[in-house]
Amino acid sequence: MSLRGAAGYWMVAGFVLLAALPFLQGRYIATYGTQLIPVLCFAILALGLNVVVGYTGLLHLGIAAFFGIGAYVTAILTTSGFPFASSFLVAAVAAMLVAAAVGVATTAPTLRLRGDYLALVTMGFGIITVSVIRNLDALTDGTKGLTPVSPNFFPGFDDPVFEKSRPGWKDSWRGYPRLYYLCLAVLAGVVIFLRNLERSRLGRAWVAMREDELAASCMGLNPAKLKLSAIALGAGLAGLAGALFAISQDGTTEPRAYGFERSMLVICCIILGGLGNRPGVLLGVVLLVGYDQIVTSMLDNWLQEQKVNPEGKEYLKVSGWRLFIFGLALILMMRFRPEGMLPAARQKRELHPERDEAAGERAAKAEAEAKDKPVDRGKKNE
């Protein structure tokens, strides 16, 4: 319990630090500061997935599809190639709603599947979505993706909020930090919303269903409704993250960015960090996505300056070891700390019953031994 409180304080401290970042001076902050925006988007995405996998226990392997749907809806609503030209606010709400609707519509028929089969169907859904996005040239511009996205924030508010003249990180309030703060604020909002939701009737019902669906339904909970509401919320948050991502990338980038690999990365984040626990999920995102997006390129640039690798060999690049390090981290984590770095209290007890119940077991054992001793039955059978 104390750990949980500490994690909460660390989270607040992290947010304060992130908010103060644009005011700091320094070479690396200027270069890598803008790269934090996608990290914030992935944090929202991971929190969305955490609702589905962490709270409700549905192993969803296609969350990046909703992320992509959000990005594409935003792009279609805001680019000049289409007649909508809406503001960001409208586009983001639409992205959330469309992603949530697709989530509900695709999950509803698969409700009776469980475990591995559900994982497989969601994976298939993710792959289908990316293929459809790639193949619907007329709507999505195929493999190129839609560009550019530069809407106003409010409807009828003629001030391009996300002006991307980006001369520097700290140059002006009108430059990139606006988007940075928007993402940070949305992330903070999502964290607070989920914190309250966790403790609500719905949040507790999700956890009850995760632990034992049959028992939960016997208690009068409706599993179908609960699953659909979890997927709607998770997909909606993923759509919101996609909307922010599309703005931050000046477009949707290529459809591959929303494929199976992205889904797996997010899954890895929440599993490494701690399934079902907000601070844990955020820590996982900071470690994995931060490593992937920022630390790798930093080290690679440094290596290039040192001219260690003139031939461009893969194994001499830090980015070349990317999958290896992810894989090793997953394996070691599952072996030695399957509950994640910052586990939810319930998971910790479940996966390490010996720590929690060690005292109780010792007492029971002592009692049993005391009973057995006169007869010495245990030894004979061996």
Partner 1 sequence: MFESIAAALGPEIYQYLLAGLVTGLLYALIALGYTMVYGIIELINFAHGDLFMLGAFFSLQLAIWVGAAGAKGQATGEFAVLAVAIMLVAAPVFCAALNVTVDRVVYKPLRNAPKLAPLVSAIGVSFIFMNIGVFWMGTYDLNFPELIPPTNLTPGYRVEFTYQHLMVIVVTLPVMVALTLFVRYTALGKAMRATAQNPTAAQLMGINVDRVIAATFAIGGALAGVAAVVYGLYVNSAGYQMGFQTGLFAFTAAVLGGIGNIPGAVLGGILIGLIEKLGTGYVGDQWRQPLIFAILIVILIFRPNGILGARTREKV
Binding site for partner 1 (CB under 8 A): 59, 109-110, 112-113, 115-117, 119-121, 123-125, 127-128, 131-132, 134-135, 214, 260, 264, 267-268, 271, 314-315, 320-324, 326-331, 333-335, 338, 350-351
Q: How far apart are CA 360 and CA 352, in angstroms?
A: 14
For residue 328, the minimal CB distance to partner 1 (Å) is: 7
* Phi and psi torsions of 180, nearest 5°: -55, -50
Nearer to partner 1, 126 or 177 (CB): 126
Q: How far apart are CA 182 and CA 175, in angstroms?
A: 12
Nearer to partner 1, 115 or 360 (CB): 115
Nearer to partner 1, 106 or 248 (CB): 106
For residue 117, the minimal CB distance to partner 1 (Å) is: 6
Q: How far apart are CA 11 and CA 24, in angstroms?
A: 20
For residue 221, the minimal CB distance to partner 1 (Å) is: 17
Alpha helices in 141-277 (DSSP H): 177-198, 201-211, 213-218, 223-248, 260-273
Nearer to partner 1, 194 or 270 (CB): 270
Place of tokens 């929190």: 47
Nearer to partner 1, 121 or 216 (CB): 121
For residue 275, the minimal CB distance to partner 1 (Å) is: 8
For residue 106, the minimal CB distance to partner 1 (Å) is: 9
Q: How far apart are CA 56 and CA 50, in angstroms?
A: 8
Beta-carbon contacts of residue 56 (< 8 Å; ≥ 6 apart): 206, 209, 210, 226, 227, 230
3-state helix, strand, coil in the chain (%, to 5): 75, 0, 25
For residue 48, the minimal CB distance to partner 1 (Å) is: 19
Contact by Cβ (8 Å): 275, 340: yes
Nearer to partner 1, 77 or 275 (CB): 275
